[in-house]
Every structure is written in C-alpha cells, then in structure tokens.
Structure 1
C-alpha cells in the first residue's frame, strides 16, 4: 500500500470562533491531501484522462489544533477499487503524537472527456495499492 504524507500548518484563516481549526477546514485538508497523493503517484496519462469527485466523507474529530500548529497528514487506499469508486483513509496527527482527525472518504473517478464515471482499471489503481 502506498502511503502519502504531507505536513500542514494551520493559519489564522483556518481558525474558528472556538480558537481551533474549523471542521470545514479539516474536510478541505482531506481533499487537498487526496489530490496531492493522486498528483504524486498517478501516471501522467492517467492524470490527464481522469479526475476524482468525493461521494462521501466520514470524519471523526478527536482533537484540536490551533493557529501555527502543524499536523502530519497521511493518506492511503487500503482496498482495491469497486467499479469507479474506492475508499481512501486519512489521518492527521499533531506534533504531540495524538491523532486529531481520522476519515474515510469515498471517491469516484470520472473520465475528463465525457464527464461520466469510469471503472478504475488495475493499472490506474496499482500505484496506490
């Protein structure tokens, strides 16, 4: 399984009225790390031919992060795709070693030319499994 890791530091714009990273920001970070993983691992011809859309997010918020704090985001695909869809796991860990957010998100692959769902073939999934 190919894991992708990326550090993210919370800016003032990421903070809500409770003084920590807003839940909507965590969802944005989930999407950003997933896209970065695709861009880093997928073959250029696959990046050119396909794009992904989220069909479901399941997010568990376990801790808070304040402005200037850095989390380590990690994402991976644990199981083979089913048709046009696959589940992606995401975990954000704080500098204290504690998990702050965990998620499982379901993504669907679309053909850029047609805008329609496309089955994830083995050669497209291989760099991520």
Structure 2
C-alpha cells in the first residue's frame, strides 16, 4: 500500500546552492513516514509504540528549487525482520521525474518499556496489504 504526501520547498528549506538542503530531505522522509504511520495504524498501536530510524540510504537525483513541489510516495516493500522494518520513499516532481529515492530502516519501540520489540503481526499487516 503506497501512501503519498506533497511537499513544497519554502525559503527556509533552501541552502546556499539554491535548492532544498539534504537535511530537509531527511526531515521530509521522516515526516512522510510518520504521517503514513498515523494514517494507517490502529490508534491503539500509535499510542503504544514509536518508531526510530536506524539507517538512511538516500540517492539525491535532481534538485528542487524554491517554491517547487514534490510528492512523496512511501511503502513497505517487505515484512518486518525482528524489530526492524524497511521503508521506501520516492519524491517525484511536478514533471513526474524523481528527485530523491530512499530506503530507510526503522525499529519499533514499546513506549511503556522504552525497549525495542519484534514487530507484532497486527502492527505490520495494514502496511503490507
């Protein structure tokens, strides 16, 4: 199941080279992942668990300038492995061309204990449909 969210580059997102700064792309990756979690997960799961990034692998393909927009598409390609889940993200510009592609790895944390746990089947299922 693919989830989408649109982003528009604001003046504060732009670096000295005149395009969206790499750190902003990382923030947007986190923002779309979090929005996907909140939109799809059972509210009881949102209350019980939190996700933390353990790895980002990002390909910066083309610049995005001030005022330009890109739509993030994110999905979970494979079932979780233990406490970890890989997430794919692709940002596509208004012209249909990709700007950034990323694979990020997230680990689930039990809010009550502060410790990682195996991703429960019922947590993963809605994202794999």
- The TM tier, using the shorter chain, reads over 0.9
Aligned to 2:104: 105
Superposition TM-score, scaled by structure 2 size: 0.98
C-alpha separation in 2, matches of 1:54 and 1:22: 19
3-state SS, counterpart of residue 20 of structure 1:
coil
Deviation readout 1:52-75 (Å, 9 max, x if unpaired)? 000000000000001110101010
Aligned to 1:60: 59
Q: How many residues align?
A: 128
Aligned to 1:25: 24
C-alpha separation in 2, matches of 1:121 and 1:115: 16
C-alpha separation in 2, matches of 1:39 and 1:118: 19
Deviation readout 1:7-59 (Å, 9 max, x if unpaired)? 10000000000000000000000000000000000001100000000000000
C-alpha separation in 2, matches of 1:38 and 1:97: 25
Cα RMSD for the two superposed structures = 0.4
> Which stretches in structure 1 are left out of the alignment for 5+ residues?
none
Structure 1 runs of 4+ aligned residues shifted over 3 Å read: none
Aligned to 2:71: 72
Map residues 1-16 of structure 1 onto 2, 5 A cutoff: 2-16=1-15
> Which stretches in structure 2 are left out of the alignment for 5+ residues?
none
C-alpha separation in 2, matches of 1:7 and 1:34: 13
Aligned to 2:94: 95
Aligned to 1:35: 34
